[in-house]
Structure 1
Amino acid sequence: MTASVGLIELLRALLLVRAGRTARATVISVKPQGESDTPVPTLRFRTEDGQNFEFQEKMAGASDAQRIGAEVVVIYDPKNPLVARRRAFAQIWGPGLFWLGMGALLLVAALVAHLVA
């Protein structure tokens, strides 16, 4: 199941990279996400047609993107600009690779448990 989620996330990232447009974004706030105390930035960017959008990153990023007012580059889907990520390897590919890695760990654990039993 986790490997499937990882593959889906990687496919989403690939589609975003292939069809996406880039824009400059500004960090407008930095707040803890969920139960974690790790600060996650909220970014605001303007699309090619002049509309403003905001999104909160899914995971904590580099420290330079954690300062309010910092400028970063984002990639967004021109058909749905709310589908956006900061243009950084960890933000684009990280979620998919994380879930794929978790699936691999679970597979190894299941194989070891099967061989030991």
Structure 2
Amino acid sequence: MSFVESRAAIAEALSTVEGVTGYPKRPTTWTPGDAIVLVEQIDHTLGVAWQVTWRIVLLLSGDEGVAIEQLDELLPLITDALQPLVYVDTATPEAVQTEGGDMTAVVILARSE
């Protein structure tokens, strides 16, 4: 599977989670529940295989308390939806600056071959 096909498949899997819309490319505007799939790093592993680390940015609420509840609810569902495609390594909350003010996001790093 090509990198482009993998990004599309990951975005599609994210979209199966209620309240989440996955995008293989950054949308012009995003709202809470939008998740973009980016290539974080590509490593050449043993033999001729390439291992891709994906950076998935899921925008949550601007209210930190609500964002924590969203993360608690969504992370297990997202991990389950992604499991056939990638191995989720980490999930890190971060602040994202938007035109409407700071929003909370979770950055998920996941690996695939």
User: TM-score, normalization: structure 1?
Assistant: 0.22
Structure that is richer in strand per residue: 2
Structure that is richer in helix per residue: 1
